[in-house]
Amino acid sequence: EAQVTQNPRYLITVTGKKLTVTCSQNMNHEYMSWYRQDPGLGLRQIYYSMNVEVTDKGDVPEGYKVSRKEKRNFPLILESPSPNQTSLYFCASSLGGLTDTQYFGPGTRLTVL
């Protein structure tokens, strides 16, 4: 089944404790992207990747890192999480970019205490 998977789905952590949210797709897509969703703000793009080893910042990259060492995986790294990073995170992928249909993961709800 074609899908985007994220792990973990739920995470409660404390300020400053490094964490990684994994994202994997099995559709051989070149484009992958991370978004965060906050009430009243819609979604905001954190980082995106056009292909392996090619990443760029979205609108809210501060406090986040990404890497794209393989086509299928695009992990989101929070080196030192803070409470303002409490949010719902979505990973998405598409064949080549926005002109192709984006498929979304189920979301990761992160709480930073």
Partner 1 sequence: AQSVTQPDIHITVSEGASLELRCNYSYGATPYLFWYVQSPGQGLQLLLKYFSGDTLVQGIKGFEAEFKRSQSSFNLRKPSVHWSDAAEYFCAVGRGGSNYQLIWGAGTKLIIKP
Q: Do residues 105 and 6 touch, judged by C-beta distance below 8 A? A: yes
Q: Does residue 1 touch partner 1 according to CB under 8 A?
A: no
* Contact range with partner 1 by CB under 8 A, out of 10-18, 42-50, 64-72, 75-83: 42-50
Query: In the complex with partner 1, which residue's Cβ is closer, 14 or 41?
Result: 41
DSSP characters over 38-105: ETTTEEEEEEEEEETTEEEE-S--TT-EE--SSTTB--EEESS--GGG-EEEEEEEESSSTTSPPEE-
Binding residues for partner 1, total number by CB under 8 A: 26
Query: In the complex with partner 1, which residue's Cβ is closer, 3 or 15?
Result: 3
Share in percent of the chain as helix, strand, coil (round to 5): 5, 50, 45
Query: In the complex with partner 1, which residue's Cβ is closer, 13 or 52?
Result: 52
111 DSSP β-pair partners: 12
- State the nearest-atom distance from the C-beta of 71 to partner 1, in Å: 16
- State the nearest-atom distance from the C-beta of 43 to partner 1, in Å: 4
- State the nearest-atom distance from the C-beta of 13 to partner 1, in Å: 23
